Amino acid sequence: GNSVTQMEGPVTLSEEAFLTINCTYTATGYPSLFWYVQYPGEGLQLLLKATKADDKGSNKGFEATYRKETTSFHLEKGSVQVSDSAVYFCALRDTGNQFYFGTGTSLTVIP
Amino acid sequence: DGGITQSPKYLFRKEGQNVTLSCEQNLNHDAMYWYRQDPGQGLRLIYYSQIVNDFQKGDIAEGYSVSREKKESFPLTVTSAQKNPTAFYLCASSIGGTRYEQYFGPGTRLTVT
């Protein structure tokens, strides 16, 4: 079946460090891929998305590229800030309109 | 502003009582979803509805019930049959089509003692 696997956390980085959170997926057909962010006690917010192979989603300095050959959608940011501390979820929507989420990766950025 | 509202933000109940969580959206989305989130864990799908008057069980439907009488509303009832109801509950909605994301509400934290 379809699934999303993302790197285990927690991840702790110093401010201005480079961030990568790995995400790989299993799906038939051509799913859409998403990254969501969740701040403590809140719902999930869409961070970025890509709907076809080789698309790059970007928002607020975060980027992720839809790589069909490696079935990956890794999240990157060149220079993290304290305000980026949150939990990040990778997700896919398959051609049957079902959503699948990774288990989330907690990021803490220290000054 | 369009969005999803969930109320209340915090809910406290005694064991053995049923409780209903509200979810309303004004985005004109056809599909609505309920997820449960436990501390440090991901999302687990409870129920979803693709259209009014129709809904499907998700992965952990036991002990929960829903209704979808109106497009904008998808209330979740946590029944006394749910063994461990204390959790953070998230409602979401989406439009049809693979390209589109889910929109999430702010969540309701339910504590049952």
Q: Of B90, B101, B107, which has the smallest distance from its Cβ to A34's Cβ?
A: B101
Say if residue B105 is exposed, middle or buried (CB neighbours under 10 Å; 0-12, 13-18, 19+): buried
CA distances for B88 relative to A13, B32, B107, angstroms: 27, 17, 7
pLDDT by residue, tens only, chain A of 111 residues: 899 999 888 999 999 999 999 999 999 888 999 999 999 999 999 999 999 999 999 999 999 999 999 999 999 999 999 999 999 999 999 988 889 999 999 999 999
Q: Do B101 and A41 touch (CB under 8 A)?
A: no
Round to the nearest angstrom and report the end-to-end CA distance of chain A. Answer: 41
**Number of other CB atoms surrounding residue A70 within 10 Å:** 8
Determine the longest span between alpha carbons in chain A, in angstroms.
43
**How many pairs of residues across A and B have Cβ atoms under 8 Å apart?**
58
Say what the pLDDT of residue B74 is: 98
Say what the pLDDT of residue B1 is: 66
Q: Of B40, B99, B102, which has the smallest distance from its Cβ to A51's Cβ?
A: B99
Q: Do B106 and A104 touch (CB under 8 A)?
A: no
| Three-class secondary structure of residue A2 per DSSP | coil
Q: Cα–Cα distance between B97 and A26 in angstroms, integer?
A: 19
| Ordered DSSP codes for B29-91 | -SEEEEEEE-TT--EEEEEEEEETTEEEE-TT-TTEEE--SBTTB--EEE-TT-S---EEEEE
- Is residue B46 within 8 Å of B34, Cβ to Cβ? yes
Q: Encode pLDDT of B38-76 as tens digits.
A: 988 889 999 999 999 999 999 999 999 999 999 999 999
Q: Do A93 and B90 touch (CB under 8 A)?
A: no
Say what the pLDDT of residue A63 is: 98
| Three-class secondary structure of residue A11 per DSSP | strand
Q: Which residues of B touch A44 (CB under 8 A)?
A: 43, 90, 92, 102, 104
Q: Encode pLDDT of B84-109 as tens digits.
A: 999 999 999 999 878 899 999 999 99
Q: Do B90 and A44 touch (CB under 8 A)?
A: yes
Q: Do A93 and B33 touch (CB under 8 A)?
A: no
Say what the pLDDT of residue B33 is: 96
Determine the residue of chain A that is closest to B58 in CA distance.
Answer: A98
Say what the pLDDT of residue A97 is: 83
Q: Which run of H or of E encompasses A75? A: strand A75-77
